[in-house]
Amino acid sequence: MKFLDEFRNSDLTGKYLQAIKATIRQPWTIMEICGGQTHSILKYGLDQMLPDEITLLHGPGCPVCVTPIELIDMAIGIAGQPNVILCTFGDMMRVPGSDGNLLDARARGNDIRMVYSPLESLKIAENNPDKRIVFFGIGFETTAPTTALALKKAKKNRFDNYFVLSAHVRVPPAIELILSSPENRVQAFLAAGHVCTVMGYREYIPIAENFHVPIVVTGFEPVDILQGICMAINQLERGAAAVENQYSRVVSENGNSMARKLIDEVFETTSRKWRGIGEIAGGGLSIKPDYAAYDAARVFGPVVAKVEESPRCLSGKVLRGLIKPPECPAFAVDCSPANPLGAPMVSAEGACAAYYNYSISRQGPIGG
């Protein structure tokens, strides 16, 4: 496939690897933000190729992983109401709520459907006027415009049986939180390429300046990631701390202005709890009052969740890059995709699942 295969070329990855090895003089710790990048790194074994001086930490860029348990409980609760069809992305189905996940809820007979796009859920609303269709809107800023589009179309076409439960989250506040923490080890970031496709990268310039960290907007294929790492190492060795754009074939400084306009029309910034991490000011997107009639959170009311997270799950530390999944005592012992203690082991993009499914070094806890 064009614009994919070329970026998986082994000659090119080899060349960037040589360049990294030739440039690096001391150990550096780099965090890739996006779960898709983590997935790619582990699937292609890029971590095996990199010199030992580079420590790769995996960031919280898995919206499925960071969706607060309260919202999952709420989605399950809504799905259990009469005449409701709950629509969600596939990877959300297995994430544990307080009492089971959406797959379990479907097994109990609730109408829960997987969709590839929120626009499909809108079609379901059009075709089922006697039902209430609720779309579980998870995702970062990349996905927010698609949810916003569905809401705008719903309003335009007066699909009054369509609702969105917004669990959308924003990346920049999470980066600031990580960098502000006294335990922070991250020295450079690979920023999420598709988030920046929508939002541009202006928001990251003050972050790079204030915290003096290089931030390289990076794509997802092996060549992209290695080039991104190469650019980050180059900055680190020179003591630079700027925002650079590796993924320039798709990302521009201002992003997609129409998409951003759509987000602004429908959503407003809000404080949001990130599962495993805690409340992040400005870390979420909620639906504006203009679209209140389509806001599932308002229409279906609050859910009093008996929140029960496993005390053994260290997902918060994994998401902040403080430990790697194999360093968790439960990894591959009590915690696996079949029996996940937390979200990062369930989502296909979660760091724990990626290590479990791909990594040749998956042997269980250190020393085990």
Partner 1 sequence: MKKQPDNRAVPMSAPACPVPPTNYENILLAHGGGGKLTADLIEKLFLPAFGDPALDERHDGAEINIGRIRLAMTTDSFVVTPLFFPGGDIGRLAVYGTLNDLAMCGARPLFLSAAFIIEEGLPLKTVHQVADSMGKAAKSSGIRLITGDTKVIERKSGNDLFVTTTGIGIIEHGLKISPQSIMKGDKIILSGDIGRHGTAVMACREGFEFETTIESDCAPLWNQVEIMLRENIEIHCLRDLTRGGLATALVEIAETSGLRLEIEESLIPVSDQVAGACEILGLDPLYVANEGRFICFVPEKQAGAAIGLLRQSAPNAAIIGQATDTPKKDYSNIRVVMKTPLGTSRIIDRITGDQLPRIC
Partner 2 sequence: MCLAVPGRIIEIAGADIERTAKVEFGGVVKQISLAVLPEACPGDYVIVHAGVAISRINEDEAKRVFKFMEQAAAANDESLSKDEISG
Give the residues lining the site for partner 2 (CB under 8 A): 1-4, 6-7, 11-12, 15-16, 18-19, 21-23, 34-36, 61-64, 89, 116-120, 139-140, 142-143, 145-146, 149, 152-153, 156, 192-195, 197-198, 223-224, 227, 230-231, 234-235, 238, 244, 246, 248-251, 256, 258-259, 262, 349
User: Which residue in the block uniquely carries the two structure tokens 């602004």?
Assistant: 264
- Site stretch for partner 1 (CB under 8 A), options 126-134, 245-253, 255-263, 357-365: 357-365
| Residue whose CB is less far from partner 1, 1 or 130 | 1
* 44 binds, options partner 1, partner 2, none, Cβ within 5 to 8 A by partner type: partner 1
3-state secondary structure of 44: coil
Interatomic CA distance for residues 92 and 310, integer angstroms: 18
**Cβ 35 to partner 2, closest distance in Å?**
5
Residue linked to tokens 């629509």: 87
Q: CA–CA separation, 324 vs 49, rounded Å?
A: 18
Asked if 240 interacts with partner 1 (CB under 8 A), we say: no
Nearest distance in Å: CB 227, partner 2: 6
Q: What minimum distance in Å lies between the beta carbon of 213 and partner 2?
A: 17
Q: How far is the CB of 143 from partner 1 (least distance, A)?
A: 7
| CB contact at 8 A, 177 and 207 | no
The correct pick among 31, 59, 94, 204 for binding partner 1 (CB under 8 A) is 94
Q: Determine the length of the chain.
A: 368
- Structure tokens that stand for 102 in this block: 């959406």
Give the nearest distance from C-beta 238 to partner 1 in angstroms.
28
Q: Which does 6 bind (CB under 5 to 8 A by kind): partner 2, partner 1, none?
A: partner 2
From partner 2, partner 1, none, interface partner of 165 (C-beta below 5 to 8 A by class): none
The nearest distance, CB 297 to partner 2, in angstroms, is 21
339 belongs to the binding site for partner 1 (CB under 8 A): yes
- The one of partner 2, partner 1, none whose footprint includes residue 48, by CB under 5 to 8 A per kind, is partner 1
Kindly tell me which residue out of 22, 27, 81, 90 binds partner 1, with binding defined by CB under 8 A. Answer: 90
Q: State how far the Cα of 42 lies from the Cα of 39, in Å rounded to an integer.
A: 5
For residue 329, the 8-state DSSP code is T
By C-beta, is 90 or 301 nearer to partner 2? 90
**Comparing C-alpha atoms, which of 251, 230, 219 is closest to residue 7?**
219
Q: What is the 3-state secondary structure (H, E, C) of 122-167?
A: HHHHHHCCCCEEEEEECCCCCCHHHHHHHHHHHHHHCCCCEEEEEC
How many angstroms separate the Cα of 110 from the Cα of each of 16, 76, 118, 126? Answer: 50, 9, 19, 20
Q: Is 357 in the site for partner 1 (CB under 8 A)?
A: yes
Binding mask 121-160 for partner 1 (x = CB under 8 A): -----------------xx---x-----------------
Interaction between residue 336 and partner 1 (CB under 8 A): yes
Q: Within a 10 A sphere around the Cβ of 350, how many other Cβ atoms? A: 31
Binding residues vs partner 1 (CB under 8 A): 1, 4, 8, 10, 13, 35-36, 42-46, 48-49, 62-64, 89-91, 93-94, 103-104, 106-108, 114, 116, 138-139, 143, 222, 332, 336-339, 347-349, 356-360, 362-364
